Amino acid sequence: MSRILLISSNVTTEPYPVYPLGVAVIAAALTGAGHKVEQFDFLVSGRSEDELKSRVAAFSPDYSCLSIRNLDNCDSTSVTGYPEVARRLVEVLHSASPAPVIIGGPAFSILPEELLAYTGADYGIVGEGEQQVCELVKNLQQGLNPPRLIRGKRLLVGEEMTSPLFTDELIRFYLGESDMINLQTKRGCPHGCIYCSYPSLEGDRYRCREPRAVVDDLERIGTDHGVNSFFFTDSVFNDSDGHYLEVVEEILRRELTVRWCCYMRPEGIGRKELALMKRAGLYAAELGTDAASDTTLKSLGKGFTFNDALEVNKACVAEQLPCAHFIMFGGPGESPETVAEGLANIEKLEHTVVFAFSGIRIYPGTPLMTLAVREGLLSETSSMLEPVYYTSPGINQEWMNDQLLNAFKNRRDRVFPPAEGQKRLEVMRRFDYRGLLWDKLIRYPKG
Ligand code: B12
């Protein structure tokens, strides 16, 4: 048995603070392997290095595990980066204790070599951490000499994808801040969107948890912590195999009183599915529409048309289910014509919120990266610690941003730039609103 301190380094509060689910999953796996585990959240501590040092002194860990969720805020109009926070935390941990520091998390898995070197951590684990971290600790305990950088050999399946171990202290904080706790029903994404890191993070096939196990978690979190409000963090909740409907049916079968939200692909969901999900507690849907014209949807490799998104929007309105579209402008193939067409298309999206973004964050190993290298935006060896955004050579970004500002002017349900949305959310929070908040901006026609 080892003493292991898990630390969440995430200090992002955009769009709202989110429970460090990765840490909770790793905590469950290490506890299950017989270790004594404590969890520390840097955001909850008020970003207090002193509190972290005190916790290290009190707990005296044999190993520290640091989770790095975000690299940056994905907003080209107002960039904020987070690797520096992780580097500082590794420094603090090293100064406070001889325990080796192991790092992991989605941000780490996107840039493992660079982050391992930059933070100075002792070990880094790429990808799913639950089995790998247990194995690394075992190897270190046995005095073996594992490599510094460890990459998963295979993807986990079924109940190998561990149920999270939440702590009451963190639950209270995140419920108070954002009125929801997050949970995953499956991992992976089979879609080939050219800019996206999800398939490389979680694999390019869906790997589903047993619906009963997912709903057991919902029940347990309700019983143990009094939570009934959730966000399903799956890359795409509405998988075309219909696993999501099994989860929904299980919630209905157990007559759970829960409310939840999720991220959906705006394709192939009609009123019937929405009505079923609504009965099971769905109260809002975030739609990965991602582009606003058929030309740009195609060049992003989305595999659906704008009309598909329009149909899903109509079904949401008919069911009076608040939905929001997230749309990136400036990707490959964007031109003055597609911007105009996209803005005209957005006009057709009624009773919904639209969040627009300018430029697309480039991730290593994606087709967008290859294109950016070919177009001379960066080189294959460029550092990616500072975010680089793709903007189509066919467009002037300033002009495009002005078009967006102009089209969205005086509309509270159209948000650009992202920092403007953050300001609006802050105002609502001051009036004690909590949760997604964008769902409060939608009004439906009477009758
Ligand atoms: C769901 C999601 C959201 C939801 C969260 C809703 C909610 N209430 O939870 C929403 C839409 C709100 C959101 C917002 C944002 N997100 Co987000 N999100 C995701 C998504 C799809 C899943 C995250 C998740 O919960 N996974 C489930 C947990 C269990 O997995 P995990 O954390 O990866 O943990 C596993 C491993 O990483 C590892 N691990 C984790 N920690 C550790 C630690 C150690 C020591 C070890 C060994 C292993 C390990 O083991 C775990 C179990 O296998 C990921 C993409 C993805 N598919 O991973 C992006 C992702 C994490 N998000 C990202 C970003 C940028 C953001 C935002 C900053 C965007 C914005 N400006 O709004 C915000 C930040 C929010 C915040 N406060 O932190 C990026 C981060 C990379 C980057 N560019 O910085 C990702 C990777 C997507 C992407 N663009 O590639 N997000």
Distance between CA atoms of 339 and 63, rounded to whole angstroms? Answer: 51
Residues 408 and 361 in one domain: yes
Residues 224 and 147 in one domain: no
Ligand 1 centroid vs 83 CA: distance in angstroms? 14
Ligand 1 centroid vs 360 CA: distance in angstroms? 17
Residues 230 and 366 in one domain: yes
Residues 38 and 76 in one domain: yes
Ligand 1 centroid vs 337 CA: distance in angstroms? 34
Q: What is the pLDDT of residues 395-446, one digit of tens each?
A: 999 999 999 999 999 999 999 999 988 998 889 999 889 999 999 999 887 7
Mean pLDDT of 360-365: 95
Residues 338 and 232 in one domain: yes
Instruction: State the pLDDT at residue 187.
Output: 97
Instruction: State the pLDDT at residue 446.
Output: 75
Range(s) of the domain holding residue 79: 3-151
Q: What is the pLDDT of residues 13-22, one digit of tens each?
A: 999 999 999 9
Choosing from 2, 14, 18 the residue with most ligand 1 atoms within 8 A of its CB, the one to mutate for a pocket test is 18
- Is the residue at 204 inside a domain? yes
Ligand 1 centroid vs 64 CA: distance in angstroms? 20
Instruction: State the pLDDT at residue 447.
Output: 61
Q: What is the pLDDT of residues 216-253, one digit of tens each?
A: 999 999 999 999 999 999 999 999 999 999 999 999 99
Instruction: State the pLDDT at residue 335.
Output: 98
State the closest ligand 1 atom to the C-alpha of 129, by its place in the atom list counted from 1: 50
Q: Is 175 buried (19+), middle (13-18) or exposed (0-12) by CB count in 10 A?
A: middle
Residues 103 and 197 in one domain: no
**Closest residue to atom 69 of ligand 1, CA basis:** 73
Ligand 1 centroid vs 109 CA: distance in angstroms? 11
Residues 230 and 346 in one domain: yes
Q: Compute the mean pLDDT over every residue in the chain, rounded to the nearest whole number.
A: 96
What does pTM read for this prediction?
0.97
State the closest ligand 1 atom to the C-alpha of 23, by its place in the atom list counted from 1: 41
Residues 188 and 257 in one domain: yes
Residues 428 and 316 in one domain: yes
**Closest residue to atom 46 of ligand 1, CA basis:** 104
- Is the residue at 163 inside a domain? no
Where a domain ends, among 130, 151, 172? 151
**Closest residue to atom 23 of ligand 1, CA basis:** 233
Length of the chain: 447
Ligand 1 pocket residues where CB is under 6 Å: 10, 12-15, 17-18, 21-23, 25-26, 65-67, 69-75, 102-107, 109-110, 125, 128-130, 133, 180, 182, 184, 197-198, 201-202, 231, 233, 235, 361
Ligand 1 centroid vs 69 CA: distance in angstroms? 5
Task: Identify the band that residue 154 occupies on the pLDDT scale cut at 50, 70 and 90.
Answer: confident
Task: Identify the band that residue 273 occupies on the pLDDT scale cut at 50, 70 and 90.
Answer: very high
Whichever domain contains 361, its CATH number is: 3.80.30.20
Q: What is the pLDDT of residues 51-94, one digit of tens each?
A: 999 999 999 999 999 999 999 998 888 889 999 999 999 999 99
Instruction: State the pLDDT at residue 331.
Output: 98
Distance between CA atoms of 312 and 321, rounded to whole angstroms? Answer: 11
- Lowest model confidence (mean pLDDT) among 38-47, 102-111, 382-391: 382-391
CB atoms within 10 A of CB 209: 25
Choosing from 9, 37, 67 the residue with most ligand 1 atoms within 8 A of its CB, the one to mutate for a pocket test is 67
State the closest ligand 1 atom to the C-alpha of 110, by its place in the atom list counted from 1: 81
Task: Identify the band that residue 285 occupies on the pLDDT scale cut at 50, 70 and 90.
Answer: very high
Mean pLDDT of 298-305: 98
Count how many domains the chain has.
2
Choosing from 10, 69, 438 the residue with most ligand 1 atoms within 8 A of its CB, the one to mutate for a pocket test is 69
Residues 141 and 189 in one domain: no
State the closest ligand 1 atom to the C-alpha of 102, by its place in the atom list counted from 1: 45
Residues 74 and 210 in one domain: no
Instruction: State the pLDDT at residue 184.
Output: 98
Q: Is the pLDDT of residue 349 over 90?
A: yes
State the closest ligand 1 atom to the C-alpha of 20, by its place in the atom list counted from 1: 32
pLDDT above 90 as % of the chain: 93
**Closest residue to atom 63 of ligand 1, CA basis:** 70
Q: Is the pLDDT of residue 96 over 70?
A: yes
